[in-house]
Structure 1
Amino acid sequence: MPSLDTAKAYYEYFNQKNWDGMISLLHPEVRHEPNQGEPRIGLELFKAFMQHMDESYEETLTDMVFFTEPNDERVAVEFVVNGIYKKAEEGLPAAHNQKYVLPAAAFLGFTDGKISRITTYYNLPLWIKLVSE
């Protein structure tokens, strides 16, 4: 499957909350580079991250625009995160189901037809402002 199709399927699974579908598209040594903090390497750490996110946030992505490069090794996607902050995280504001709409982007790398890198970017100070209002 071309990288663009894999990337689109990954985000379709995200919006469907089909975590197993998402995991099925990942390389065993996937490198997840979050906006904040240390990278996570491997499926087990990524699964733990997804479990944590599912407990703390309810998110749907809209307005997705995908960009590819000629070698079919990388895909970038720009999107809007439409979320609800369900459970507080250490060092962040208290959670009481605040809604937020936040622009974000991700860069995906591919190895052997699977997603081997996910790098995510968003404006954390803006998100804090949105859930603090």
Structure 2
Amino acid sequence: MNQNTINLIEQYYAAFNSADMATFLNLLTDDVIHDINQGKREIGKEAFTQFMACMNHNYKEQLVDMVIMATADGSRAAAEFTVLGEYLQTDEGLPVAQGQKYRLPAGAFFDIRDNKVARITNYYNLQDWIAQVSA
């Protein structure tokens, strides 16, 4: 495993968990590809910035139980973790937010270029999340 890539992904999630969006976004390439779970593909740091603004408005999340893996050449990585969250504001097309708490297993896949994240693909079970916030 490539320690530089593992360190990059650790920094990425540490910035996420501390809500340090400046550091978080600085770890991305300008043309970053973001594959949204069960959604569309967005390209570019500006689109990712807008996505994160919406996420931070609607949800409060911490990622725990992190396991990070990387290829020997450092060009790809994967992470598995648990999302501990609170649903703050209703997101379009989803159940009404009432401060519901949730715990959700999730994972992510990365392409790395020039020691920055060039692609992030997130996966989690949306139906599990909907069931938790609808209970």
TM range (shorter): over 0.9
Q: Does 1:61 align with 2:36?
A: no
> Sequence identity of aligned pairs in percent?
43
- Separation of aligned partners in 2, 1:64 and 1:4: 11
Q: What is aligned with 1:50?
A: 52
Aligned equivalent of 1:122, options 121, 124, 133: 124
- Separation of aligned partners in 1, 2:68 and 2:25: 20
- Counterpart AA for 2:71: E
- Separation of aligned partners in 1, 2:92 and 2:38: 13
How many residues of Structure 1 are paired with residues of Structure 2 in the alignment?
A: 133
- Identify unmatched segments of 5+ residues in structure 1: none
Q: Equivalent residues in 2 for 1:1-133 (5 A)?
A: 2-133=4-135
Which deviations, in whole Å up to 9, do the C-alpha atoms of 1:69-88 show, x marking residues without a partner? Answer: 11111110000000000111
When normalised by structure 1's length, the TM-score is 0.97
- Counterpart AA for 1:109: D
Shift of 1:14: 0.4
Shift of 1:95: 0.2
Give the secondary-structure state (helix, strand or coil) at the position aligned to 2:112: strand
After superposing on structure 2, the runs of 4+ consecutive aligned residues of structure 1 that deviate more than 2 Å are none
Which deviations, in whole Å up to 9, do the C-alpha atoms of 1:52-83 show, x marking residues without a partner? Answer: 00000000000000111111111100000000
When normalised by structure 2's length, the TM-score is 0.96
